[in-house]
Chains A and B, each alone.
Chain A
Amino acid sequence: MQWIVIGTLTDIPQRGSRCIETPEGKVAVFRTGDDCVFAIDDRCPHKGGPLSQGIVHGASVTCPLHNWVISLESGKAQGADQGCVRTIPVKVEDGQLYIGLAQQAERAA
């Protein structure tokens, strides 16, 4: 696995998300109210809604299309809904935000 810098922590608002383009598809990177960082595929397991556009609460996000609640830690749908999205390793070091990708890749822009 390879760690790639994608920006700084402060590029993402608290309780917000931004997405990045990767060779493995669009990834949503989240920053919670207590500055934890998570990354998951930007596709709701329900109907493919862009999770990066949802409301972030605690360590969960609510999909903007049909209000599924997805755990940012496990990628699993919460409550009665069944489904899971891929989680992607992410870390913060000295304010720099890194994402861990399986394939050899590098930042293009």
Chain B
Amino acid sequence: MTEKLVIIGNGMAPGRMLEHLFERAPGRYAVTIFNAEPRVNYDRIMLSPVLSGEKDYEQIVIHGDGWYIKNGITLYKGHKVVSIDRTAKTVTSDQGTVAAYDKLVIATGSVPFILPVPGNNLPGVLSYRDLDDVNAMLLAAQSRAKAVVIGGGLLGLEAAAGLAARDMDVTVVHVMPTLMERQLDPAAGYMLQRELENRGIKIVTKAQTKAILGERRAEGVELADGRIISASLVVMAAGIKPNAWIAKEAGLATNRGILVDDGMHTSDPDIFALGECAEVGGHVYGLVAPLYEMARIVAARLSGDPSPRFVHNDTPTKLKVTGIDLFSLGDFADGEDRQEIVLRDAAAGVYKRLVLKDNRIIGTVLYGETTDGAWFNDLKKREVDITDMRDTLIFGQSYQGGVPLDPMAAVAALPDDAEICGCNGVCKGKIVSTIEAKGLTSLDDVRAHTKASASCGSCTGLVEQVMKLTLGDAYNPAAVQPMCGCTNLGHDDVRRLIKAKSLKTVYAVMQDLEWKTSCGCAKCRPALNYYLVCDWPGEYADDYQSRFINERVHANIQKDGTYSVVPRMWGGVTNSGELRAIADVVDKFNIPAVKVTGGQRIDMLGIKKEDLPAVWADLGKAGFVSGHAYAKGLRTVKTCVGTDWCRFGTQDSTGFGIRIEKFMWGSWTPAKVKMAVSGCPRNCAEATCKDVGVICVDSGYEIHFAGAAGLDIKGTEILGLVKTEDEALEVIVALVQMYREQARYLERIYKWAKRVGIDEIRRQCLDEAARRRAYFERFVHSQQFAQVDPWSERVSGLHKHEFRPMAAIGLASQAAE
């Protein structure tokens, strides 16, 4: 019979515990989880990248809803457990849910330490523990106002860097003389302070907070020396304490945390505690590696294996701020029985210090250059006598034994039990054996199967080197294709960094992302220009010199250097007045060819560049605007005649096509977007090979996307069926906006969809109403700046230099008139 396992808390430690448990004892327990937060298990280590904008929530989810369903877990989201009845063996939530247990795991984590100063409960005072805190900070950051972070430790500095990346004016107030004094010695603390100050973060050390000022909400922080720092956001990051009250209430033994033995049992044999709330051997822990170790032990005990015991180990600390390399491990205080080896390179911003006792490493601080961290950690853990390599020890592993700098050699030399991933406690041997046993070839596979580099990601380089060693040439780490020869970054990285770093001009991107050329090339400049147009509507000034000629002059260049012009005919519908105007233009400008296009438009070919403004002027008088037949943007919406005329039509396909086109024209997209609306499944508008298509049926509108009929031929995928035209419009707009925000430049919808996944797109654009709405609204916002007819602008004189020769020079005799 299955036993009942109840878990209080849904953080990373119990999540990992369950993964181990399901592997060791599948089906043994029926699991119920109470989560005080209204969501699934996500990676808290990654809150800082979410705050700075380098990642978003979806990217840090560890277990999606599907995982809970698959494993038969009952998850109560937003339920806080308020009592444990140890006699009846039940727990009760604040919403009145009662659950019985055979075994109970308490994983309530920690609570932030709130300074006992006046004003600490004012609105605008936040802690930094969970996604709600991050969301509240992001909201506050929108006002671009001032923020004070109290606490110059790991968490406080990550919060400060994240807020600064969101353009806030940030001051860090720290009570000790140097930053991160528990992990860094004063020299490294000083270098860190200088680096943060260079990034515009103000730092006040030796600062005791006296009060948070403000009437109805936080307005500033007052220090003990009388200084006042104004701020509308105050983040308390002064430390955490184990959240043990529920255990205390239930009469379990507690000290700072919930007391457990080295098998993670509390004083009640049926109750375990793990994670930040647990106290074992006099230690409480806040870093993920020991917490995952606890998870492994609880899972073993629950599956009936009494052997594993928790052993204290020093865990290296790293700061997760982009561009700051920092590593700290063990004990680095000075002492009579200790010696140190120090390397400083002020110009390169490098500081390394090893603390030795009895010829063994007991502590390490690395700043600016941390690649040898894993090696030093390994030497420390194995208590290696370093006497023989003492002279060159500080230069790192690659200098030992006379082998010159070859990172592969360094990794090859690591023993099998050398730890590669500190977060998840994965050693080199485990990675190698898993790659060989399961035939893994990609980094994602290795992450999925071993968890190595799956948490903070700072060991990714090492993991890749292990893969390369194991797989040889079969491993190709350059899976990320650089945008072009001007950078090593791929399109996705560039797009993310543009947002994260608020880069708002092509030249800011090139400077900040260290472009290798002075002003890019014909591949990257148009891509960057598009990304900026898309990401900063209304703020970014379109750089016409970075656009391909067709988009610069709003016509299609032909093989002889002439241009073709396609006026917009909404939904492919026209009338005698429009046709007459076109005919007149053709006569007046001697246009040599007129052709009907595949998208139901009329194309006039062979127009001289100098004539373009005059052609547009005449077309404009007849009411035509640009058909954007040249654009990486919305091209055409092809329609059939629908219920207006057709005896089979089920909906007004013509009207809907025109509506879509009038709503979406002028928008720039990563590649061209062609659409169609067919009035019935006979599909005369050929909607099932378009980027986006609609098939009208009696019951509503079937929305299709990701078709192709060019280099590739591909039928569309069905996104879903909606009942009304309004809904259909919202879904289509959301889909296009998602594509605009995520795709790589020149990547058509079908290629993007293949990469992202049809289900994911359906989830975001159809299933989740709030997200769909948000995409829709961002599109609408950007359209205010995009829906300007480029032809009429140029008829009115914009960029007139573009269309006329600068000068005409004749032979002296001819020119003398």
Contacts and interface: CB of A to CB of B under 8 A. Distances in A.
B69 interface: no
Interface string B542-565: 001111111011000101110000
A101 interface: yes
B805 A58 contact: no
Interface in A53-80: 53-58, 60, 62, 64-65, 67, 69
A84 interface: no
Interface string A32-62: 0110000000000001111001111110101
B192 to A, nearest CB: 37
A57 B521 contact: yes
Contacts of B811: 23, 103-105
Contacts of A62: 521-522
A23 B808 CA distance: 9
Contact of A55 (B546, B559, B806): B546
B806 A57 contact: no
Residue of B522, B561, B809 with most chain A CB atoms under a 10 A cut-off: B809
Contacts of A20: 805-809
B437 interface: no
Contact of A13 (B525, B545, B557, B561): B545
A62 B816 CA distance: 37
B347 interface: no
A85 to B, nearest CB: 14
Nearest to A105: B809
A103 to B, nearest CB: 6
B525 A19 contact: no
Given A104-B811, A104-B812, A105-B810, A54 B549 contact: yes
Given A57-B522, A62-B522, A67-B522, A18 B809 contact: no
Contact of B545 (A26, A55, A60, A67): A55
A23 B815 CA distance: 11
A38 to B, nearest CB: 14
Given A6-B806, A18-B801, A64-B557, A55 B812 contact: no
Contact of A18 (B545, B549, B806, B810): B806
Contacts of A92: none
Interface stretch (B171-179, B446-454, B512-520): B512-520
Given A57-B517, A57-B519, A69-B522, A64 B549 contact: yes
A29 B522 contact: no
A18 B545 CA distance: 12
A106 interface: yes
B363 interface: no
B674 to A, nearest CB: 22
A82 interface: no
B557 A55 contact: no
A99 B552 CA distance: 26
Contact of B805 (A19, A65, A67): A19
Given A16-B545, A57-B520, A50 B561 contact: yes
B518 A21 contact: no
A99 B808 CA distance: 12
Given A15-B545, A64-B549, A106-B810, A55 B526 contact: yes
A59 B803 CA distance: 23
Interface string A75-108: 0000000000000000000000001010111111
A21 B116 CA distance: 80
B522 A55 contact: yes
A1 interface: no
A54 to B, nearest CB: 7
Given A47-B559, A53-B557, A11 B522 contact: no
Given A57-B521, A58-B519, A62-B521, A19 B557 contact: no
Interface string B776-817: 000000000000000000000000010001111111101110
A56 B549 CA distance: 11
Interface size class of A (residues with CB under 8 A): 35 or more
Which size class do B's interface residues fall under? 20 to 34
Contact of A105 (B519, B522, B815): B815
Given A11-B801, A55-B526, A101 B545 contact: no
A6 B561 contact: no
Interface string B481-511: 0000000000000000000000000000000
Contacts of A13: 544-545, 801
B555 to A, nearest CB: 11
A85 B97 CA distance: 81
In this complex, which of A4, A15, A60, A107 has the most chain B Cβ atoms within 10 angstroms of its Cβ? A15
Interface centre among A6, A18, A47, A55 (most CB of B within 10 A): A55
A108 B806 CA distance: 11
Interface in B559-586: 559-561
A53 B559 CA distance: 13
B810 A58 contact: no
A69 B523 CA distance: 11
Nearest to A53: B549
Contacts of A64: 548-550, 557
Contacts of A12: 801, 806
A107 B518 contact: no
A23 B810 contact: yes
B517 A7 contact: no
A64 B630 CA distance: 13
B809 A22 contact: yes
Contact of B815 (A26, A49, A108): A108
B518 A106 contact: no
Contact of B807 (A7, A33, A58, A60): A7
A15 B506 CA distance: 13
A73 B557 CA distance: 25
A108 B522 CA distance: 34
A53 B561 contact: yes
Contact of A6 (B517, B544, B809): B809
A14 B543 CA distance: 11
B808 A21 contact: yes
Contacts of A53: 549, 552-553, 557, 561
Contact of A49 (B552, B561, B807, B808): B561
A11 B810 contact: no
A16 B545 CA distance: 6
A12 B549 CA distance: 15
A105 B812 CA distance: 4
Contacts of B810: 23, 105-106, 108
A58 B518 CA distance: 6
B523 to A, nearest CB: 8
Nearest to A5: B807
B110 to A, nearest CB: 53
A14 B549 CA distance: 15
A53 B544 CA distance: 12
6 contacts: A7-B807, A16-B545, A50-B561, A64-B557, A107-B807, A107-B815
Give 6 closest A-B pairs by Cβ, nearest first: A62-B522, A18-B806, A21-B808, A55-B522, A53-B549, A6-B807
Interface of B: 517-522, 525-526, 544-550, 552-553, 557, 559-561, 801, 805-812, 814-816
Given A11-B806, A104-B811, A105-B811, 7 more contacts: A13-B801, A16-B545, A20-B806, A48-B560, A58-B519, A105-B809, A108-B815
Interface of A: 4, 6-7, 11-16, 18-23, 26, 29, 33-34, 47-50, 53-58, 60, 62, 64-65, 67, 69, 99, 101, 103-109
